[in-house]
């Protein structure tokens, strides 16, 4: 690899463009979905902003029905293209942020914002890499296509639609994880556990329970509304338990009842042990309340069966392999309504060698023994890419050259990226190995210089992949 792009991205221009993109509140809003904006106005606005920027800079662009879009460089008549897959949708900015999560705040070289590392920052780094490659004038034989998705955080319907509309790439990578390189990603099972609708009467009722905004986040907030003649009595008892356990909470009147709100700590759903699930905290404090059988069963599901069972032991689904480690379980969404019953939605990350159908069968058996049922569900296959693939070797070598390293150890991950939607591809950066990955967390952040370094790495990778031999 003698030829290098060797162009340093314009830091001021990069921060200006990234700050503008961060300001778009691009969380999915299914209630506002319409033709041309399948995930609501925010994700579409973010997509259009990036495409407009690229068009102004002289790139070929295309909006694919509002699901995704792409920015392309290289010989227009080339048969093949290299895919670089980023996304501009973000998870909700829950919790107490130090600064406005949708206003880029740079302090001591660190950028704080929702999307800083997941994935607006890395996507902009990839775009600036494409600009650098274009400015270098170095010849490439394949097209380079930066694909911009808008539904990565909620099901990846954007990439499903993209693959329906566009041909598959020769090879690709997603700048939506960590360096040096992730060649294997766990499979996923999404399953909603439904609890019984009715369970008799009691002097205190669980009128409502609510926790979580996305199944792939550890919920940092949960609330329950107690009603009935003994609501205040049991609300007081619950508050005593919360105080004894030094759990942050608040209490207020809610109609004729009492609303209790508990705080936890958010984390990415692929690493549930890294957060504090607020639903578990609140349910554990409510265990002794004499609810009716249906309500008690819902509380017990959270407080006893799922509470910190991150490996799935109590669910009978625990499994690990030598490639990607242990299965993980995140109880991301918990809902209960006294007139409708309840549900808990699980995000399970399954090791590469796990049999997804057998795992789902085991989960179903365990849930039915508890008297519950599995409602809505879905599975995603794991990703495994041969580390010896020529494309993988290019990424590894370019990264090593930029970092002054040799024989770096490639990684596996519980997180799922767009790479799973490629015939050949991996996740590649942009979080540096000496820095914590803060996606989905309060005060999400990344070092600005890390994004700029990632952009230089991506530029060289784009050049090398642009000349990849079939």
pLDDT in tens, 136-164: 999 999 999 999 999 999 889 999 999 99
337-359 b/e with 16+ CB inside 10 Å = b? Answer: ebeebbbbbbbbbbbbebebeeb
403: closest CA among 438, 385, 429, 426? 429
Q: Model confidence at 302, in pLDDT bands (50, 70, 90)?
A: very high
Computed on alpha carbons and rounded to an integer, the radius of gyration of the chain in Å comes to: 24
ω into residue 447 within 30 of 0, thus cis? no
CB–CB of 348/189 below 8 Å? yes
Q: What are the beta bridge partners of residue 225?
A: 208, 259
**Residue 260: count of CB within 10 angstroms of its CB:** 24
395: closest CA among 462, 469, 455, 449? 462
- Separation CA 317–CA 186 (nearest Å): 15
- Separation CA 257–CA 160 (nearest Å): 45
Report the length, in residues, of the chain. 470
pLDDT of residue 340: 86
459: closest CA among 84, 78, 120? 84
211: closest CA among 281, 151, 275, 274? 281
pLDDT in tens, 82-141: 999 999 999 999 889 999 999 999 999 999 999 999 999 999 999 999 999 999 999 999
427: closest CA among 170, 45, 84, 129? 84
Angle at 84 between CA 82 and CA 88, to 5 degrees: 155
State the virtual CA torsion across 79, 83, 88, 92 in degrees, nearest 10. Answer: 140
- Separation CA 130–CA 454 (nearest Å): 12
- Separation CA 42–CA 38 (nearest Å): 10
pLDDT in tens, 166-221: 999 999 999 999 999 999 999 999 999 999 876 778 899 999 999 999 999 999 99
State the virtual CA torsion across 134, 137, 141, 144 in degrees, nearest 10. Answer: -10
pLDDT of residue 168: 98
pLDDT of residue 242: 96
Mean pLDDT, residues 306-332 taken together: 96
- Separation CA 446–CA 261 (nearest Å): 30
Backbone angle region of 115, left / alpha / beta, with phi > 0 → left and psi within -120 to 50 → alpha = left
- Separation CA 308–CA 302 (nearest Å): 9
pLDDT > 80? residue 309: yes
pLDDT of residue 3: 59
pLDDT in tens, 224-281: 999 999 999 999 999 999 999 999 999 999 888 999 999 999 999 999 999 999 999 9
CB–CB of 289/319 below 8 Å? no
pLDDT of residue 344: 98
CB–CB of 156/421 below 8 Å? yes
pLDDT of residue 263: 96
pLDDT > 60? residue 1: no
The whole-chain average pLDDT of the chain stands at 96
pLDDT of residue 216: 92
**Residue 276: count of CB within 10 angstroms of its CB:** 20
Concatenated DSSP letters for 186-252? -EEEEEEEEPPS-----SSEEEEEEE-S-TTB--SEEEEEEESTTHHHHHHHHHHHHHHTT--EEEE
Q: Model confidence at 81, in pLDDT bands (50, 70, 90)?
A: very high
Concatenated DSSP letters for 146-192? EEEES-GGGT-HHHHHHHHHSPPPSEEEESSEESS-EEEE-EEEEEE
Phi and psi angles of residue 274, each rounded to the nearest 5 degrees, phi first: -80, -10
pLDDT in tens, 36-77: 999 999 999 999 999 999 999 999 999 999 999 999 999 999
pLDDT of residue 255: 87
pLDDT in tens, 349-371: 999 999 999 999 999 999 999 99
Structural domains of the chain ordered from first start: 11-185+383-465 (3.40.630.10), 188-380 (3.30.70.360)
Instruction: Please list the active-site residues.
Output: 89, 152
- Separation CA 259–CA 206 (nearest Å): 10
105: closest CA among 465, 457, 446, 461? 446
Residue with tokens 């102004």, as numbered in its chain: 56
pLDDT of residue 415: 81
- Separation CA 71–CA 145 (nearest Å): 6
pLDDT of residue 256: 86
pLDDT > 70? residue 2: no
Kindly report the pTM of this predicted structure.
0.85
């Amino acid at each position: 690899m003698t030829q290098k792009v060797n162009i340093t991205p314009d830091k001021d221009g990069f921060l200006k463009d990234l700050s503008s993109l961060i300001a778009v509140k691009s969380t999915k809003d299914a209630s506002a979905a319409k033709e041309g904006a399948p995930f609501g106005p925010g994700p579409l606005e973010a997509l259009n902003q990036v495409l407009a920027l690229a068009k102004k800079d002289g790139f070929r662009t295309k909006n694919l029905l509002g699901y995704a879009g792409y920015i392309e460089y290289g010989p227009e008549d080339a048969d093949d293209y290299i895919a670089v897959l980023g996304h501009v949708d973000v998870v909700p900015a829950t919790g107490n942020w130090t600064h406005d999560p949708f206003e880029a705040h740079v302090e001591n070289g660190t950028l704080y914002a929702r999307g800083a590392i997941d994935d607006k920052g890395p996507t902009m780094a990839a775009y600036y890499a494409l600009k650098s490659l274009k400015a270098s004038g170095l010849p490439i034989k394949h097209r380079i296509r930066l694909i911009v998705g808008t539904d990565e955080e909620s099901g990846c319907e954007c990439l499903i639609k993209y693959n329906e509309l566009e041909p598959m790439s020769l090879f690709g990578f997603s700048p939506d994880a960590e360096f040096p390189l992730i060649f294997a990603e766990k499979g996923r099972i999404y399953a909603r556990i439904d609890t019984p609708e009715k369970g008799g009467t009691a002097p205190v009722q669980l009128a409502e329970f609510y926790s979580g905004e996305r199944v792939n986040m550890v919920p940092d907030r949960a609330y329950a509304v107690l009603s009935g003649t003994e609501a205040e009595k049991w609300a007081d008892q619950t508050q005593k338990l919360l105080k004894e356990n030094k759990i942050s909470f608040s209490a207020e009147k809610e109609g004729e009842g009492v609303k209790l709100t508990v705080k936890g700590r958010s984390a990415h759903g692929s690493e549930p042990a890294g957060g504090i699930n607020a639903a578990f905290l609140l349910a554990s404090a409510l265990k002794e309340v004499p609810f009716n059988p249906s309500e008690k069963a819902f509380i017990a599901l959270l407080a006893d069966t799922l509470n910190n069972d991150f490996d799935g032991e109590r669910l009978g689904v625990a499994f690990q392999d030598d490639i990607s480690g242990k299965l993980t379980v995140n109880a991301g969404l918990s809902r209960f309504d006294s007139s409708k019953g309840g549900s808990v939605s699980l995000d399970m990350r399954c090791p590469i060698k796990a049999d997804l159908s057998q795992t789902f069968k085991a989960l179903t058996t365990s849930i039915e023994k508890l008297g519950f049922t599995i409602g809505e569900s879905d599975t995603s296959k794991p990703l495994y890419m041969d580390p010896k693939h020529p494309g993988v070797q290019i990424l590894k070598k370019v990264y090593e050259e930029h970092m002054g390293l040799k024989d770096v150890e490639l990684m596996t991950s519980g997180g799922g990226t767009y790479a799973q939607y490629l015939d050949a591809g991996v996740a590649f950066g942009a979080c540096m190995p000496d820095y914590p990955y803060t996606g989905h967390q309060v005060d999400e952040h990344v070092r600005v210089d890390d994004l700029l370094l990632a952009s230089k790495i991506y530029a060289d990778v784009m050049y090398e992949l642009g000349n990849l031999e079939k």
